[in-house]
Amino acid sequence: MIALGGCKASRKLSKSNKSYEIGEYYRSIEQYRKTYRKTKNRAVKAEIQFRIAEAYKYIGEYKRAASFYKTAITRGYSDPIAILHYADVLRADEEYDEAIANYQLYLKSQPGDQHALNGIASCDRTPKWLENPTRFQIEDLKSLNSKSSDYAGVYPGGHENQIVFTSSREGATGRRDSPITGQLYGDIFHSYYDKQKGRWEKPTLVDENLTVDTGDDEGAASFDSRGTTMYFTRCRYDKTKSMGAEIYTSSETGGTWSEPVRVELGGDTLLIAHPSLSADGRTLYFVSDMPGGFGGKDIWKAEGAPGAWGKPENMGPAINTPGNEMFPFIRDNGELYFSSDYRVGMGGLDIFKAVKDDKGQWKVENMKAPINSPGDDFAIYFIPGEDRGLFSTNRKGTRGDDIFSFVLPPKIFEIDGNVVDKENGNRLRNATIRLIGTDGTMLRLNADNGKFKFRLNPETEYVVAAFKKGYLNAKANETTIGLKDSKTFDVSLALTPTDAPIRVDNIYFDFGKWDLLPASKSALDSLVQILVQNPTVTIELMAHTDCRGDAKFNFELSQKRAESVVNYLVANGISPARLVAKGYGETAPKTVTRKLAEKYNFLKRGDELTCDFINKLPTEEEQEICHQINRRTEFRVLSTDYREKFAPSPKE
């Protein structure tokens, strides 16, 4: 009796394992639970706990999976793979510290394991990606999604008024629960957008004649560029066994879909699914576990034409990994998108983008948040020629698998500028503004009210310059090269008037000396730039002292200081013919400008800072301020019509 009971439990375990091995995860959980109750063997119980955890993991119920992995490990399940997969589901449930601890525990028995190393990297990067999302904007299509599984949405032919997607909602033709998910078999539904109501109409079966939608499990549709030929997955099943997943195709004529035809792709496998047709209709991408792959499920492609597809070709190790790669989508610009559960990511399945480099090699990158999440994210679709589309996710806040829309807003770069008088800070009217870019941009406008605005292109360097009669030119340099986000450049162009002396601040000398100190370099370099930007201008460099000390000494000192400034300008490429050095000593006290009067409340506009004026001030502090104002270096424009003279050639 005991022996017969043991055999019966063994047969049930074998039956449960068979369901699990052919992918009937939901059914296998039910069977494992029954077997668990009938066995007393501790090792068998631990193995059953592990298998149940694996099944829950595959159907995306990570919290339940974590509970069963933990129990299996506690009960002595010996295979360290349980620790690795336990870490995976902890990570998907955002338990990062505990996940890292288990990855590290697994690495003790399997040093250098890439899966575990990827898991640790994922735990480190996910919080950062969540905190600093990309520019994508996403939206849950709540008016379309149901409490059942809704996924793999596409716009046939790129027309956004109709969406086709897979769903196991009420109204599906399947009359039994899927042994994989426990939900009804999926069907292909469609819905039209009601512009007046601003929402999607109630979804219906895509094919009312039930040639596409049948009692089998259908889904994951892909269309040709016109939206009239559909490729989709059909999973057939009879009472005794699963007949696997295959790709079928059907064409629409007059609103009616033809009888689907199985796409012959060959290969020794029961899994050929998730089709994606290239824009030119000559390449079909799909998922399979046929021999010649790199892991569980791989992405393959077949070239040719409908009815004459060539031998399937694996996409290679640049795309496929030891894990599962699924839901390929080939964009009209040649970019390949797919989901993977092995690469460094944020959750169970993450969406990845693959682009070929100059050498034709695929370069893969994670699409990060908000496209990806700690949940499963998959089945992305782009509208042809647009940075918009759809994807599927079971992230927190959804009711299972839901369809989201996404859009990548264009990067907007602008210059928002103004033109001001450098001396008084007032905005200048009617200045001419020019914008020159390395992309060939050449724009010109009149800043009527002293303000201007330009829209800039990405990956471009610009020069923006301002011109006005009676003022020196001014310019600024900006670049959009390498910018990942939109940006507005605030540009203020300060024009120097040519009808009055202009103070050059921050030029320093030791007391009683004329050698320029290093701290003066920045101010003098700015003066060099002014002269470079205004090549027809000649100037007089004027040096002034305060009224203290010997007048003759002050005069000679100021002259030598003016000459020091001129020598610096000449050494930096300014023609000496454009420069005049003049020392004024204490003979030209400063007249207070509005700007100075606003800065010092004891001064008023028009005051001349003579020695008599200064000596009458009530405090030493105020007197010293005025002496500092008088100790200055200025320049004034002598002419604006200078032309460089070149030596004649030998022939002349």
Q: In this structure, what CATH number is given to the domain that contains residue 93? A: 1.25.40.10
- Nearest Cα to 278, choosing from 213, 349, 225? 225
What is the pLDDT at residue 635? Answer: 87
- On whether the CB atoms of residues 106 and 80 are closer than 8 A, the answer is yes
pLDDT at 241 over 60: no
Say how many domains are in the chain: 4
Q: DSSP characters for 420-447?
A: EETTT-PBPSSEEEEEEETTS-EEEEEE
What tokens does 278 get? 């290239």
Residue 209, φ and ψ in degrees, nearest 5: -85, -5
Residue 577 within any structural domain of the chain: yes
What is the pLDDT at residue 508? Answer: 64
Question: Percentage of residues in the chain with pLDDT exceeding 90?
Answer: 63
What tokens does 351 get? 């969406």
DSSP 239: S
Range with top average pLDDT, 21-25, 197-201, 321-325? 321-325
Residue 84 within any structural domain of the chain: yes
Residue 459 within any structural domain of the chain: yes
- On whether the CB atoms of residues 35 and 65 are closer than 8 A, the answer is no
pLDDT at 305 over 90: no
Residues 336 and 419 in one domain: no
DSSP 294: S
pLDDT digits (tens, 9 = 90+) for 49-65: 999 998 888 888 889 99
- On whether the CB atoms of residues 540 and 638 are closer than 8 A, the answer is yes
Rounded CA gap, 90 and 73, in Å? 14
- On whether the CB atoms of residues 507 and 525 are closer than 8 A, the answer is no
Matching residue, tokens 């077949």: 302
Rounded CA gap, 89 and 73, in Å? 14
Residues 86 and 195 in one domain: no
pLDDT at 156 over 80: yes
DSSP 454: E
Rounded CA gap, 194 and 140, in Å? 17
The residue type of 204 is T
pLDDT at 178 over 70: no
| Domain end position, chosen among 378, 407, 436 | 407
Matching residue, tokens 């033109």: 419
Q: Which residues contact 578 (CB under 8 A, 6 or more apart)?
A: 531, 537, 538, 539, 642
Summarize the confidence of residues 550-560 as an average pLDDT.
92
Residues 472 and 526 in one domain: no
Residues 475 and 618 in one domain: no
What is the pLDDT at residue 9? Answer: 41
CA distances from residue 512 to 128, 165, 516, 561, 588 in whole angstroms, order as listed: 58, 85, 12, 10, 19
Residue 492 within any structural domain of the chain: yes
pLDDT at 6 over 80: no
Interior angle at CA 650, CA 645 and CA 651, nearest 5: 105
pLDDT at 504 over 60: yes
pLDDT bucket at 3, cuts 50 / 70 / 90: very low
Q: Report the CATH number that the domain containing residue 507 is assigned in CATH.
A: 3.30.1330.60
pLDDT at 651 over 70: no
pLDDT digits (tens, 9 = 90+) for 327-380: 999 999 999 999 999 999 998 899 999 999 989 999 999 999 999 999 999 999
What b/e readout covers 592-618, taking b as 16+ CB neighbours within 10 angstroms?
A: bbeebeeeeeebeeebebebebbeebe
Residue 79 within any structural domain of the chain: yes
Helix ranges (DSSP H) in 22-95:
25-38, 42-58, 62-74, 81-92
Residues 519 and 486 in one domain: no
- On whether the CB atoms of residues 558 and 585 are closer than 8 A, the answer is yes
Residues 570 and 613 in one domain: yes
What is the pLDDT at residue 22? Answer: 61
Rounded CA gap, 367 and 375, in Å? 14
Residues 616 and 491 in one domain: no
pLDDT bucket at 646, cuts 50 / 70 / 90: low
What is the pLDDT at residue 72? Answer: 93
What is the pLDDT at residue 351? Answer: 98
Domain that holds residue 54: 1-131
Summarize the confidence of residues 192-196 as an average pLDDT.
91
CB atoms under 10 Å from CB of 212, counted, come to 24
Residues 290 and 398 in one domain: yes
What tokens does 513 get? 């000396």
Q: Report the CATH number that the domain containing residue 489 is assigned in CATH.
A: 2.60.40.1120
What is the pLDDT at residue 501? Answer: 80
Interior angle at CA 189, CA 185 and CA 194, nearest 5: 150
Residue 646 within any structural domain of the chain: no
pLDDT bucket at 268, cuts 50 / 70 / 90: low
pLDDT bucket at 511, cuts 50 / 70 / 90: confident
SS3 499: coil
What tokens does 450 get? 């002293």
What b/e readout covers 529-543, taking b as 16+ CB neighbours within 10 angstroms?
A: ebbeebeebbbbbbb
Strand order in the sheet with 283-288: 272-277, 283-288, 298-303, 313-314
Residues 120 and 178 in one domain: no
| H or E stretch at 115 | helix 114-131
Residue 44 within any structural domain of the chain: yes
pLDDT bucket at 440, cuts 50 / 70 / 90: very high
pLDDT bucket at 549, cuts 50 / 70 / 90: confident
What is the pLDDT at residue 267? Answer: 66
pLDDT at 8 over 50: no
Question: Percent helix, strand, coil in the chain (nearest 5)?
Answer: 25, 30, 40
Question: Per mean pLDDT, which range of 293-307, 349-363, 380-394 is the poorest?
Answer: 293-307
Q: Which residues contact 396 (CB under 8 A, 6 or more apart)?
A: 373, 374, 375
What is the pLDDT at residue 296? Answer: 87
- On whether the CB atoms of residues 235 and 216 are closer than 8 A, the answer is yes
Average pLDDT of the chain is 89
Residues 323 and 462 in one domain: no
**577: burial class by Cβ within 10 Å (0-12, 13-18, 19+)?**
exposed
Q: Report the CATH number that the domain containing residue 249 is assigned in CATH.
A: 2.120.10.30
What tokens does 316 get? 């290679």
Matching residue, tokens 């620790």: 83
Strand order in the sheet with 388-393: 137-140, 402-407, 388-393, 377-382
Residue 649 within any structural domain of the chain: no
Rounded CA gap, 181 and 172, in Å? 15
What is the pLDDT at residue 19? Answer: 64
pLDDT digits (tens, 9 = 90+) for 97-147: 999 999 999 999 999 999 999 999 999 999 999 999 999 999 999 999 999
What tokens does 172 get? 């599906």
pLDDT at 21 over 80: no
Residues 47 and 186 in one domain: no
Residues 3 and 62 in one domain: yes
| Domain end position, chosen among 467, 497, 527 | 497
Rounded CA gap, 452 and 447, in Å? 6
| Domain end position, chosen among 90, 110, 131 | 131
pLDDT at 650 over 70: no
What is the pLDDT at residue 648? Answer: 53
